[in-house]
Each structure stands twice: as structure tokens, then as C-alpha cells.
Amino acid sequence: IETEYDRQSQAAHRPRLLLQYIQDRYLKPDIIVDITEYMDKKLESIKAFKTQFYNPDVDGLQTYISSPEFFETVVGRSREFGKSIGATFGEGFTSRKLLGVDNLFDLR
């Protein structure tokens, strides 16, 4: 597969790190990122797909994400992860390999 960026051919590359985002099932995170600064933007981005989510004025088949509790779950999970690292909101990820750091003082 060949790809281009700005009309220039791109060299093949592999990511240094692959993290899996924790969605709606509880998994113990391997790393948590402080998203306090971005939480409003995260919710705004999710709500951009408003036809997929709870709307009391629409009758239809209710799904997990169309339930009134869905956004409460998103916010609650973010609060739980955030609290565990001393932040207001956090986002958890798992990793299939051990994570390393160059400086322990970079960790919270």
C-alpha cells in the first residue's frame, strides 16, 4: 500500500505504541490520561452524533447508547479514572506490552 501526504509519497511506518481505549466494560487500565481540560470537548464531540443518543422526543428502539443513562456512564467513568490519578477526569487505556518511562518524576 502506498500513501501520500501533500502530494509526497510516505514511507512505511509502524506505531511505537498501541493502546486500547477502554469503552463501556470495566477493565483495569494500564495507563490513565488526564483529560480534564478536554472533557467538555469530548462530550460535545459525542453529542455531534445526536441522532444516535437519547432524545425524549423520539420514539423507537432503545439501545445502550440511546438510554438516558449513557452520558452519565461516560462522565462517571471519566470521573472514576480521573480521581484515581488526582485529576477531575481521566481516560483509561490498556496495553499488551509493558510501558516504560525515562524519568519516574514524569509519572503522577
pLDDT in tens, 89-98: 999 999 999 9
pLDDT in tens, 22-33: 988 889 999 999
Q: What's the mean pLDDT in 52-67?
A: 86
Spell out the long-range contacts of 81-88 with Cβ–Cβ below 8 A and sequence spacing 24 or more.
81/29, 81/32, 82/32, 82/34, 82/35, 82/36, 84/32, 85/32, 85/34, 87/34, 87/35, 87/36, 88/36, 88/39
Q: Mean of the per-residue pLDDT values for the chain? A: 92
pLDDT at 81 over 80: yes
pLDDT at 51 over 90: no
